[in-house]
Structure 1
Amino acid sequence: MSSEPDTSASRRFRGIRRGATFLLGFACLLVLVAMIGLTCLDVVARYLFNSPVNGAYELTQLLLASLIFLALPLTTAAGEHIEVELLDGLKSNILKVFGAACAGIATVAVFAVVSLELAEHAEKLQRREQVTDSLEIPLYLIGWLGTASFTVSAIAAIFWTLRRLREKA
């Protein structure tokens, strides 16, 4: 049982989290299926018909970047990032809480800085109208997806850190 009261706000938050998790997971699934389908189609077209799919390599690169950006908030919300627990051997709960707080603040700060840098880069790509080489797909779309991903990951890291601090306290 949860130690926090089941208010309408907490039920609403859990519903939003479940919905966002479902949507991001489904988007990851679609991108992964598209990557697999594109690769299979490219291989079949290349070896059976001697005619590879135009831009398959380019599309695969964009789909892979999209997959990573879509999965990042899910990984953060689940607390599945690789972490080194240097302070867990300590006996003092105060030091453990302090270490968890510092790690959480650092994680949120890194995600926020990367999000801001990606936003600046995406804006430059959009202003300069940068596109991919063969298919001429606008690159700023991936930049803005990355910006959104790191922003959502920063928010997820805040909630993950708060949950972790409650557990350690």
Structure 2
Amino acid sequence: MKNNGWIEKQYPEPNLYRWIGLTLEAIAATVLLLLVLLTCFDVAGRYLFNNSIDGAVELTQLGLAIMVFAQMPIITWRGSHVVVDLLDHILGNRIVKLLAIFSVLIISTSFYFLAIRIYQLAERSLRRGELTEYLGLPAGHIAQYIALMSWLTAACMLTYGAYVVLKNKNVSSSVGE
């Protein structure tokens, strides 16, 4: 019961979004832990045994991509981006809400079309058999993951982002929390 209360406190979104957020943050946290361990072992191996872990830089790059794109849908639907609200009090709540809806549409459309292009590049990479430099992993799979997370970001922004903007009476207080 304690875990359920903690989950509800940390993830105030409705059911589906709550579990998507929890899953994506668990992925990001796990990858971060693995990156910390990889870095510790790599540095210890380099200084104590004069031998670093082969492909550690490449694994770090892949881990950062996984971590960043796992957080992207969560940051986007919570409105946790940097927001400048200098004109909100001057423009009024109705215009700010209209601009927020316009922002939701622009962001979700941009992520959708960006994901289409990234997925096309991933397919091309897999067709050509492109591999990463040191470990020889298929480069297209990470690009497919980035495209998938971009589509998820677009969907979350369009659905839940618009819901938050339309639900709240004071838009500027709901953005950036």
TM-score normalised over the length of structure 2: 0.82
Partner of 2:82: 82
Partner letter of residue 164 of structure 1? V
Equivalent residue number for residue 106 of structure 1: 106
- The CA distance in 1 between the partners of 2:93 and 2:79, in whole Å, is 21
Cα drift, residue 83 of structure 1: 2.5
AA at the equivalent of 1:166:
K
Using the alignment, how far apart are the partners of 1:154 and 1:41 within structure 2? Answer: 37
Matched residue type, 1:47: Y
In the TM superposition, residue 19 of structure 1 has moved relative to its aligned partner by 1.4
Q: CA RMSD in A?
A: 1.7
SS in 2 for 1:90: helix
SS at 2:82 equivalent = coil
- Give the stretch that moved more between structures: 93-102 or 42-51: 93-102
Residue 44 (structure 1) aligns with? 44
1:163 aligns with: 164
User: How far 1:96 moved relative to its partner?
Assistant: 2.2
Residue type at the aligned position of 1:38: L
Do the aligned partners of residues 132 and 88 (structure 1) sit closer, same or farther apart at CA in structure 2, a change above 3 Å counting?
Answer: same
Letter of the structure 2 residue corresponding to residue 67 of structure 1? M
Output aligned runs, 1:48-67, within 5 Å: 48-67=48-67
Distance 1:58 1:92 in 2: 49
Q: Deviation of residue 14 (structure 1)?
A: 2.2
Give percent identity, aligned residues only.
Answer: 29
Q: Please report how far the alpha carbon of residue 95 of structure 1 lies from its aligned counterpart in structure 2 after TM superposition.
A: 1.9
Aligned residue pairs, count: 157
Distance 2:87 2:95 in 1: 7
**1:69: how far off?**
0.8
| Maintained 8 Å contact 1:28/1:71 | yes
Gap change, CA 1:44 and 1:168, over 3 Å in 2: same
Letter of the aligned partner of 1:115 in structure 2?
Answer: A
Counterpart in the other structure of 2:120: 120
Name the counterpart of 1:3.
Answer: none
Q: Distance in 2 between matches of 1:143 and 1:52?
A: 27
1:99-128 deviation digits (Å, cap 9, x = unpaired): 112111111111112111111111111111
- Distance in structure 2 (CA, Å) of the matches to 1:54 and 1:162: 47
Q: How far is the alpha carbon of 1:25 from its aligned partner?
A: 0.9
> What's the offset of the Cα at 1:91?
4.6
Structure 1 unmatched ranges of 5 or more: 1-12
Q: Which amino acid aligns with 2:163?
A: L
Deviates more, 1:60-69 or 1:96-105: 96-105
Matches of 1:17 and 1:116 in 2, distance apart?
23
Q: Which amino acid in the other structure matches residue 124 of structure 1?
A: R
Question: Could you tell me which amino acid in structure 2 is paired with residue 41 of structure 1?
Answer: F
